[in-house]
Structure 1
Amino acid sequence: MTLDYLPFLFSLIALFYSSVGFGGGSSYLAIMSLFITDFFEIRSTALILNICVVTIGTLGFIRHHVFNLKLFWPFLLSSIPLAYLGAQVKLSQTGFFLILGSSLIISGGFMLLRYMRAKLYSKEFTLTKKMALGGSIGLLAGVSGIGGGIFLSPVLNLLNWKDPRTVASLASVFILMNSIAGLVGLTVAGTFQLDGNLIWKLILAVLLGGGMGSYLSNRKLNLRILGGLTAILVIYVGARLVLVHGFGIAI
């Protein structure tokens, strides 16, 4: 595969991930690491694409009255500043991908356990618990170079916070806010870099895929199936990153 195929592939990734409220940043990072040597360009590009996809998703959730700021603000208040700080942490390329891959494996495992349950029910969290979860995952999001929704959503689902569609809407806006904070952090740290010729092709591709995925998400499809499939994909991406960058084994 060459860079010419990336827009098509990223469009499919955006479609799939946006259907469950994610931006696809983890897969963008994993795939770009195979073709782009500039580590900082990879992180910057993934955050830009995340913002494009989840902006569409967030607007869709607002339009369909799923988004609820009264429920969400504690997660966002604590996560945004920590995502900004996390983005300024300068890791080696190997360390970065090992942290990202390990986090994705754990995240995907939690997500899979949640969607394998026979019954999905919901409960409320305290303000302190919301802020603690938002802050810790926001920091991890900033360090790993993605929006963090892919970490937050499985944890909330496993802990039975609200229904899967409400969690997906929070994940979407969580990714949006933390990706913006992450970009600001990269800029302040002097590590924001983009390929001007490639980025516009990828933006158009993910906007198309993200728009389609957001439409499917709000058609009230079976989110158990979509969530389970996404969990399997997340685990695969995480395992591949760990094996390739940690042990030099390609799968």
Structure 2
Amino acid sequence: MLAMILAFFVTALLYASVGFGGGSTYSALLALSGFDYRLLPILSLACNVVVVTGGSIRFARAGLTPWRGALLLTAVAAPAAFLGGLTPIARDEFLFLLGLSLLLTGAGLLVPISGGDAAVPTRFARYMPLAAAPIGYLAGLVGIGGGIFLAPLLHLARWNSARAVAATASLFILVNSLFGIAGQLLKSGPGMIGAAVESGLPLLLAVVVGGQIGSLLAVRFLPQRVIRWLTAALTIVVGLRLLTGQ
């Protein structure tokens, strides 16, 4: 358990430092440890909520959240996240989708991000709500927030400035995680959250500490680009292990 606690702490620290929750990596670590896969999304989404709540509040207080666009994307994705949480899925299919989502997560972290204000949006920026629905569904299904998939699309479409995209991704992860948990509990019964918390309370505490350190201190010691590369490497390695059964 000590090794898992440390892994959750490091994951939360890395992801929080680049504005994400880390749900897919939490799920993968639990899956590799033999944790009941039916509880994975609940615990992973709960960890997401813990990590991104503080960041979402800080972005909002700083006036960085582009509320009109962020709420539109979130409103499209949240019902899909709820449906994803409701969808029954077999263990093998769950692990395959989770491993694939990790590889995509790693690729998303490697997408270069420019600072400062956004350039003129591309014609694809207006279609971002269409991408939000499938991302939300996957979020609820396998226990991720989805912001790690949305953010690279927003950057490539020059949807808004880098800081506004980060704020949007944080809110997106928070709301999708809450709706995903609701769908999971309706599917499996409210008793599952008690079982998930009872089994994973030390991991949740590790995520609380790691997330706070990541969001407040980590970027002062390592350049954000290096942190993103480290996080991408972690997710890709874990994803490959899931897909290859190693």
Q: TM-score range by the shorter chain?
A: 0.7 to 0.9
Using the TM superposition, give the Cα deviation of residue 121 of structure 1 relative to its aligned residue in structure 2, in angstroms: 5.4
Q: What residue is the counterpart of 2:23 in the other structure?
A: 25
The answer to whether the Cα contact below 8 Å between 1:66 and 1:169 also exists between their aligned partners in 2 is yes
Which residue in the other structure is 1:227 paired with?
A: 228
1:212 aligns with: 213
2:46 to 27, 45, 48: 48
TM-score (norm: length of structure 1): 0.84
Shift of 1:228: 3.3
**Quick check: 1:124 aligned with 2:121?**
yes
Q: 2:12 — aligned with what?
A: 14
Aligned residues of 2:31 and 2:40 also touching (Cα < 8 A): yes
Deviation at 1:198, TM superposition (A): 3.4
User: Match for 2:227: what amino acid?
Assistant: L
Contact 2:125 2:158 in 1 (8 A): no
Q: What's the CA shift string for 1:99-140, capped at 9, x where partnerless? A: 12113323422432435x8x9954437785132121121112
Instruction: Give per-residue Cα distances to partners, 1:166-192, cap 9 Å, x unaligned.
Output: 222211111110010001101111256
Q: 1:34 aligns with which of 32, 35, 45?
A: 32
Q: Which runs of 5+ in 2 are unaligned?
A: none
Distance 1:76 1:201, change over 3 A: same
- d(CA) in 1 for partners of 2:196, 2:108: 35
Inter-CA distance 124–33: structure 2 relative to 1 (3 Å threshold) = same
Indicate conservation of the 8 Å contact 1:14/1:210, yes or no: yes
Report the TM-score, using the length of structure 2 for normalisation.
Answer: 0.86
Pairing 1:68-217 to 2, within 5 Å after superposition: 68-115=66-113, 122-124=119-121, 129-190=127-188, 193=192, 194-216=195-217
> What root-mean-square deviation, in Å, do the aligned CA atoms of Structure 1 and Structure 2 show?
2.7
Instruction: Give unmatched runs, 5+ long, in structure 1.
Output: 245-249
* Matches of 1:142 and 1:135, distance apart in 2: 11
In structure 2, do the counterparts of structure 1 residues 161 and 240 end up closer, same or farther at CA, with 3 Å as the change threshold?
farther
Find the residue that maps to 2:38 and give its secondary structure. Answer: helix
| Counterpart residue type for residue 157 of structure 2 | L
Q: Contact 2:148/2:169 (CA < 8 Å) preserved in 1?
A: yes
Task: Decide whether the 8 Å contact of 1:111 with 1:158 is kept in 2.
Answer: no
Aligned twin of 1:62: 60
